[in-house]
Structure 1
Amino acid sequence: MPIIVQKFGGSSVATPEKILAAARKAIRAKQEGNQVVMVVSAMGDTTDDLIDLANRITDKPPAREMDMLLSTGEQQSCALMAIAISSLGHKAVSLTGAQIGVKTDATFRKARIKSIETARLKKLLDEGNIIIAAGFQGIDDDFNITTLGRGGSDTTAVALAAVLRADACEIYTDVDGVYTTDPRVIPEARRVSRISYDEMLELASLGAGVMHSRSIEFGKKFDTPIHVRSSFTDVPGTMIVTEPERPDMPVCGAAITKDEARITVQGIPDKPGTSLEIFSRIAARNISVDMIVQNVGESGKADISFTVPKNELDASLDAVREGVKLVGAGTITSDDNVAKVSVVGLGMARQTGVAEKMFRALATAGINIGMITTSEIKISVLVPRDQSQQALRVVHSSFELEKAPTTPIKPWMPKHIGTDAAAVVARLQGLNMEDLTIDDVSLDSTQARVTILGVPDTPGIAAKVFEEVAAAGIFVDMIVQSYPTTEALATLSFTVPQEQLEHSVTVAKKVAASLACRGVTNSPKIAKLSVSGVGLRTHTGVAIRMFRSLAEAGINLDLINTSEVRVNVVVDGAQGEKGLKQLQTAFADVLR
C-alpha cells in the first residue's frame, strides 16, 4: 500500500478549526488507499511564546532545558490532531520524536538526525492507524530530548518519508507552492508546477522561505519527492524532484537576499594559504560565509570579497582582522548597505547568454553591480540595498518568469520502488542520515582564463563586456568580478574553452580599450577544481577543507566561487592533477 507523509506547519494547525481541516485531509488520503503519516508543528506562535516565557526568567536559559520546553509545543499539536481524527471516526496514534525513534546527535537547539526506527511505525500503519508524529524533535544517545532547529518539522517529515520510502512527502503550508520569486515583493510572480532539488536548494538559501535547506537536502540525498501544497485550498502546488519544470528554460526563479554585509580585504599576498587564514577564523566563530569572490592578483597581491549576515558583520570583522595580521594584507573595508540578487536554473548550464541578459537588464535600470559570482546553475550580483527590489523586478521581467510555459510540460513520473529503493536503504544503513555527502570531486583542465584589469565601477560595464563576448560566439563558464578598489576600479575574470582563448583575448582587449580599462591578462591553461554534494550549506567548512588541503600542497588559488551544491576554485593548470589528488584525499571520508 502506498505511504504518504503529510506535514502541517504552525499556521496550518493554529486553531481547532484548522486542526480539524488538516485531519480531514489526512482521512481523505487514507480513504484513497494510502497509509498516512502526519507530521505537525507547534500551533501558531506557540514556539515563540515558549521562548518568551523562558526569557522572562533568564536571558541565558540552558540549551538542554530549552529543548525540553520547546518540544512540548509539537506534542500538544500531535495529541490534538489524534483527538480530531478520532472524533471523525478514524483510528489515530500520536507519537513524540522519542516514541518514533528519531535518534539525533547531542547538539541541543540544532540537532542532526542520525537514524530513525521504522518497526513501530510500520506496525501501527499496518493496523490501520493514521500516525501523527511530533515534528522538530528527537532524542540523543542519553535519552535527552533534542530539537532540530529552524525548519525542523520539514526535516522530520522528509526524513520519515525517506526511511519509509514513501511515495511522496506533502508539505502543507500557508502558500500554495513555490513561486518564481516572492509574490509579496513581485505580485506577478508565477507558481511553478515542478522544480529540481538543486534549484530549490539554491532558492532556499537565497531566502525563499517555503522550505528549509536541510529538508531539501534529505529529499535529494534519498530521492524523496516533496510536494508543497496549500493547507487551505486544493491547488496542485509544486513538486520538488530531480527534474526541473522546463529543462529547456535557462532560469526558473529569482531571489533577493537583503540582510547581507560585504567585507573586502585588499592587498592579500597572492600565495597559498592566505584564504585559509581568513576563512578558518570566521568559521571558528560559526559565521556562515555566503558569496565568496577572489580574483586574480596583480604584482603579488590579490583581493578577496565575501558576504556575511548583516547581524554578524562586527564579529566577522574581528575574525578578519586576526587573519590579516598573520598574512600581512593591506586594507579592510565593509558595507552593510548591500543586497544580493540572484537567478537560478538548471538550464543555464546548457545555454549561453544568461549572464549578459541579467547584466543588461540591470544596466538599463541604472543599477550598478558591485560583485559577480556564478556557478553552474546560479548567477549572483551584489547591488545597493535601496535598489535591490527594483533589481529583482527587472531581472524577473527580463527572463519573463511571470509567463506560463507555452509548450506542454513533460509530466513527472515517480520511480517505482525496486533497485533504486534497495540502493537508498543501503545508504540509510550504517550512516548518520544528515552527514555531509560529497557526490563528486572533479578536475576540468579544458579551460583558459581571461582577466580585464581596472574595470570602471559604473552601471553597464558587465553587460557591455559579456554582450561583446556572446556576440563573438564565445562560451563562458565562470564569471568573477571583485569588489572595486579605493580607486573605483574592479577586476573582472571569466573562463572560456582553451580553443577560444585567442579569440576571447582579442574581444576582451577591444572592449577593454573602449571602456578605458587598464589592460587584459590571460592564462592559457587553468585547472578548475570542484567539490559537489549534499549538505554544503548546512555543513559549514567544506570550503575551508578545500582551502586547507590545497594550501598544504602549496597550491595557490586564483579564483573562487561558491554555491549551495558546489565549491569551485581555479588554480594554475600545471597544479590540476596534484590538486585533484589532494581533494580526493581530503574528502575521502564523505565521498559517495
Structure 2
Amino acid sequence: MSIVVQKFGGTSVADAERISRAALRAVETKRAGHQVVMVVSARGKKTDELVSLASEITKKPRPREMDMLLSTGEQESCALMAMAVHELGEEAISLTGAQIGVKTDGSHTKARIISISTQRMKDALDAGQIVIAAGFQGVDENFDITTLGRGGSDTTAAALAAVLDAELCEIYTDVEGVFTTDPRVVADAAKVEQVSYDEMLELASLGAGVMHSRSIEFAKKYHVNLKVKPSYSNGPGTLIGPVPVAPAPMVTGVAFVRNEARVSLIDVPDQPGVMSEVFSRLSENKIPVDMVVQNVGVNGTADISFTVAEDDLEKALQVGDAATASLGGTVESLGNMSKVSVVGHGMQTHTGVAAQMFSILAEHDVNINMVTTSEIKISVLIDHDLCEKATRAIHSGFHLDRKETATPEIGVASPNIPRARTDRDATKLEEDIVSRLSGMEDTVVSDIYGDDSQARVTITQLPDTPGIAARIFAAVANGGILVDMIIQNAAQDGRAIISLTVPSDDVGQCIELLRTAAGDNPDVQFSFDQRIGKLSVVGIGLRSHTDVGARMFRTLADNSINVQMVNTSEIKVSVVVAAEEIDKALTALRGTFGVS
C-alpha cells in the first residue's frame, strides 16, 4: 500500500473549521487506499504570539528555551487534528518530533536533521491509523527539543516522505501552486503545472515564498515527488519533480529578493588563496552569501563582490575588513539593492535569453549593478526601488502571462507521475553518495567536472548606463553564439567590466560582433583567452551550507591554482582557471569531496 505524506501549513489549520477540512482530506486519501502521514504546522499566528510573549519576559531569550516554547504550537495542532480525524470515524495518532524519532544536531532554532526512525510510524500505519506528525521539531542527542528554523514543517514533510519511501508528498498551502512570479506583484502571473527540482531550488532561493530551499533539497536528494496544492479547493496544484521529458519553456519564472546588500573587495591580489581566505571567513561566521562574482584580474589585482541579506551586511563588512587587512585592498558596500532573476531549463538551448532580459531592463531605464548566471538562471542586482517595476517588465517581456493549456491532473496514485526513484541510470551516483552521509541534511556534491572547450572574452571601460549590456548580448545572440558564463562586477568610477565565456571556435566572431556593438567608443577595450578551464562543483544544499565554497577554494589554493573568475547559483559553483591546470584541479577537488 502506497504512503502519501500531506503537510498543512499554519493558515490551513488556523481554526476548527480548517482543521476539520484538512482532516477530511486525509481521511478521503486513506479511504482511497493509501496510508497517510500528516505533518502540521502551528496554527495561524501562534508562533508569532509565542515569540511576542517571550519578548515580554526577556529581550534575550536563550535558544534552548525558545525551542521548548515554540515547539508547543505544532503539538497543539497535532492533538486537535487527531481529534478531528476521530470525529470522522478513522483512527489517528498524534506524535511529536521526539516520538517519531527525528534526531537533529544541537543547533537550537536552526537544527539540521541527522536521522529519522520509521518503525513507530510504520507500525501505526499498518494498524490502520493516520499518523499526525508535529512539523518543525526534533530532539538532539541529549533529548533536548530542537526546531528546524524557517520552513521547518516543509522540511519535516519532505524528510518523512524520503525515509518512508512515500509515493507523493503533498504540501497544502493558501495559494494555488507555484506561479511564474509573485501574484501580489504581477496580477496576471500564471500557475505553473510542473517544475523541476533545480528550477524550484533556484526559485525558492530567489524569494519564491511557496516553499523553502531545504525541503526542495530533501526532495531532490531522495527523489521525492512534491505537489504544492491549495488547501481551500480541489485545484491540481504544481508538481515538483525531475526534469520533464517534454521540451522545457525558455523561461519558467521570474523571482526576486528585495533586501540585498553588496560587499566588494577592491584591488585584492590576483593570486591563489584569495578566494579561499574570503570564503573561509564567511563560512566561519556562518554568513550565507548569494551572488558571488570575481571578474578577470587587471594589473595583478582583482575585484570580488558578493551579496548578502541586508540584515547580514554589518557582519559581512567585518569579514571584508578582516580579509583586506590580511590580503590588501579596500572594502566597499552598497545597501538598498534587490536581485531579479529569470529561471528555466529551456535557456540551456536558446541563444539570446540574456540579451532579451537586458533589453527589457534597458527599455525601462533599469541599470544593472551585477550579473551572475548558471545554465538555468540569469540574475541581476538592481536598485531596490526598481525591483517591482523590473519584475513586471521581465514577466511581460517573456510573455509569462500567457496561460498555457493545463496538463491533466496528476492524482495520488496516477501512473503519470514521473517517479524519479525508478530512473536508476540518472540517480545511481547520487544515491551512492547519499548512502554514505552521516546526516540526512549533509551536503551532496554529486558531480565535479571540467570544460576546456571554451574561451573567455572580457570588455573593460564600458559606460555604466542602462542598455549597454543589452546592446552587447544582443549582438552576440544575433550572431548565433551560445554564451555560457556571464559575469558583471560592480562598476568602478562609472565604468563596468563584463566577461563572458563562449565556445573557443566562436571567439573571433564574438569579438568582431562586440566591437561593432561597442561602436566608436575609444575607451572600450577587449581582451580574450582562447582556451580556459572551467570547473564546476554541482550538488544539493550548496547555498545553505556555507562551507562548500570554502572547501573548494581552499583546495585550489593548496594546489597553487589561481581562480580567474567565479560564478555561483543554488546548485553549482563554477570557476575559471588556466586551461593547463584543469586536470590537476579536477583531481584535487574530487579528492576533497569524495567524488569519483
Q: Tell me the distance in 2 between the aligned counterparts of 1:416 and 1:328.
A: 49
Letter in 2 for 1:128: G
Asked if residue 437 in structure 1 is aligned to residue 441 in structure 2, the reply is no
Q: Tell me the distance in 2 between the aligned counterparts of 1:273 and 1:416.
A: 40
Corresponding residue for residue 113 of structure 1 = 113
Q: Tell me the distance in 2 between the aligned counterparts of 1:92 and 1:407.
A: 35
Asked if residue 587 in structure 1 is aligned to residue 586 in structure 2, the reply is no
C-alpha distance 515-364 of structure 1, shift in aligned 2 (>3 A): farther
- Superposed displacement of residue 572, structure 1: 1.1
Corresponding residue for residue 546 of structure 2 = 540
Local SS of the residue matching 1:261: strand
For residues 496-543 of structure 1, what are the alpha-carbon distances to aligned partners after superposition, in whole Å with 9 as ceiling and x for unaligned?
111111222222233334444431000011000000011112211211
Asked if residue 80 in structure 1 is aligned to residue 84 in structure 2, the reply is no
Letter in 1 for 2:495: L
Asked if residue 384 in structure 1 is aligned to residue 383 in structure 2, the reply is yes
CA contact (8 A) 2:265 2:305 kept: yes
CA contact (8 A) 1:245 1:409 kept: no
Q: Tell me the distance in 2 between the aligned counterparts of 1:581 and 1:207.
A: 36
Asked if residue 353 in structure 1 is aligned to residue 360 in structure 2, the reply is no
Letter in 1 for 2:510: S
- Superposed displacement of residue 413, structure 1: 2.8
Local SS of the residue matching 1:188: coil
Letter in 2 for 1:464: R
C-alpha distance 24-407 of structure 1, shift in aligned 2 (>3 A): closer
- Superposed displacement of residue 170, structure 1: 0.4
For residues 286-307 of structure 1, what are the alpha-carbon distances to aligned partners after superposition, in whole Å with 9 as ceiling and x for unaligned?
2111111110111111111111
CA contact (8 A) 2:289 2:543 kept: no
For residues 122-153 of structure 1, what are the alpha-carbon distances to aligned partners after superposition, in whole Å with 9 as ceiling and x for unaligned?
11111111110111111122211111111111
Corresponding residue for residue 480 of structure 1 = 487
Local SS of the residue matching 1:161: helix
- Superposed displacement of residue 361, structure 1: 0.6
- Superposed displacement of residue 428, structure 1: 5.3
CA contact (8 A) 2:189 2:400 kept: yes
CA contact (8 A) 1:450 1:520 kept: yes
CA contact (8 A) 2:290 2:308 kept: yes
- Superposed displacement of residue 406, structure 1: 5.9
Local SS of the residue matching 1:459: coil
Letter in 2 for 1:481: Q
Corresponding residue for residue 50 of structure 1 = 50
- Superposed displacement of residue 418, structure 1: 6.4
**Aligned-residue CA RMSD (Å):** 2.0
Q: Which moved more, 1:428-437 or 1:252-261?
A: 428-437
Asked if residue 59 in structure 1 is aligned to residue 59 in structure 2, the reply is yes
Asked if residue 247 in structure 1 is aligned to residue 253 in structure 2, the reply is no
Letter in 1 for 2:355: E
Letter in 2 for 1:358: M
Letter in 1 for 2:174: D
CA contact (8 A) 1:244 1:346 kept: no
Corresponding residue for residue 456 of structure 1 = 463
CA contact (8 A) 1:257 1:340 kept: yes
Q: Tell me the distance in 1 between the aligned counterparts of 2:480 and 2:409.
A: 31
C-alpha distance 419-500 of structure 1, shift in aligned 2 (>3 A): closer
Corresponding residue for residue 419 of structure 2 = 415
Q: Tell me the distance in 2 between the aligned counterparts of 1:145 and 1:305.
A: 39
Match of 2:472 among 455, 465, 470: 465
Corresponding residue for residue 559 of structure 1 = 565
For residues 302-351 of structure 1, what are the alpha-carbon distances to aligned partners after superposition, in whole Å with 9 as ceiling and x for unaligned?
1111111111212211210111111111x322111211110001111122
Match of 1:550 among 553, 556, 576: 556
Corresponding residue for residue 157 of structure 1 = 157
CA contact (8 A) 1:275 1:547 kept: yes
Q: Tell me the distance in 1 between the aligned counterparts of 2:206 and 2:327.
A: 32
Local SS of the residue matching 2:476: helix
Q: Tell me the distance in 2 between the aligned counterparts of 1:550 and 1:429.
A: 25
- Superposed displacement of residue 280, structure 1: 2.3
Corresponding residue for residue 453 of structure 2 = 446
- Superposed displacement of residue 216, structure 1: 0.3
C-alpha distance 416-455 of structure 1, shift in aligned 2 (>3 A): closer
Corresponding residue for residue 203 of structure 1 = 203
Q: Tell me the distance in 2 between the aligned counterparts of 1:32 and 1:99.
A: 27
Local SS of the residue matching 2:259: strand
Q: Tell me the distance in 2 between the aligned counterparts of 1:373 and 1:515.
A: 26
User: TM-score w.r.t. structure 2 length?
Assistant: 0.95
Letter in 2 for 1:58: T
Task: Give ranges in structure 1 of 5+ residues lacking alignment.
Answer: none
Local SS of the residue matching 1:441: strand
Residues 9-158 of structure 1: pairs in structure 2 closer than 5 A:
9-158=9-158
Local SS of the residue matching 1:172: strand
C-alpha distance 314-468 of structure 1, shift in aligned 2 (>3 A): same
- Superposed displacement of residue 416, structure 1: 8.6
C-alpha distance 425-300 of structure 1, shift in aligned 2 (>3 A): closer
Asked if residue 521 in structure 1 is aligned to residue 527 in structure 2, the reply is yes
Q: Tell me the distance in 2 between the aligned counterparts of 1:378 and 1:84.
A: 44
Q: Tell me the distance in 2 between the aligned counterparts of 1:349 and 1:428.
A: 31
- Superposed displacement of residue 55, structure 1: 2.0
Residues 300-315 of structure 1: pairs in structure 2 closer than 5 A:
300-315=300-315
Task: Give ranges in structure 2 of 5+ residues lacking alignment.
Answer: 411-415
For residues 178-215 of structure 1, what are the alpha-carbon distances to aligned partners after superposition, in whole Å with 9 as ceiling and x for unaligned?
00000001111000111000000001001111111110
For residues 217-271 of structure 1, what are the alpha-carbon distances to aligned partners after superposition, in whole Å with 9 as ceiling and x for unaligned?
0100011000101111111100100124963311100011111011222211111
Asked if residue 575 in structure 1 is aligned to residue 581 in structure 2, the reply is yes
- Superposed displacement of residue 282, structure 1: 2.7
Q: Tell me the distance in 1 between the aligned counterparts of 2:421 and 2:518.
A: 57
- Superposed displacement of residue 429, structure 1: 7.5
CA contact (8 A) 1:453 1:520 kept: yes
CA contact (8 A) 1:91 1:129 kept: yes
Q: Which runs of 4+ in 1 moved over 4 A?
A: 406-412, 416-430
CA contact (8 A) 1:213 1:537 kept: no
Corresponding residue for residue 497 of structure 2 = 491
For residues 343-397 of structure 1, what are the alpha-carbon distances to aligned partners after superposition, in whole Å with 9 as ceiling and x for unaligned?
0011111221110010111111111111111111100011111111111111111
Q: Which moved more, 1:277-286 or 1:20-29?
A: 277-286
User: TM-score w.r.t. structure 1 length?
Assistant: 0.96
**Alignment identity in percent?**
52
- Superposed displacement of residue 417, structure 1: 6.8
CA contact (8 A) 1:224 1:241 kept: yes
CA contact (8 A) 1:13 1:43 kept: yes
- Superposed displacement of residue 279, structure 1: 2.9
CA contact (8 A) 2:223 2:420 kept: no
Letter in 1 for 2:419: K
Q: Tell me the distance in 1 between the aligned counterparts of 2:44 and 2:478.
A: 54
CA contact (8 A) 2:451 2:535 kept: yes
CA contact (8 A) 1:437 1:534 kept: yes
Residues 198-237 of structure 1: pairs in structure 2 closer than 5 A:
198-237=198-237
Local SS of the residue matching 1:107: coil
Q: Tell me the distance in 1 between the aligned counterparts of 2:267 and 2:32.
A: 65
Local SS of the residue matching 1:322: helix
CA contact (8 A) 2:39 2:156 kept: yes
CA contact (8 A) 1:512 1:520 kept: no
Local SS of the residue matching 1:287: coil
Aligned residues: 588
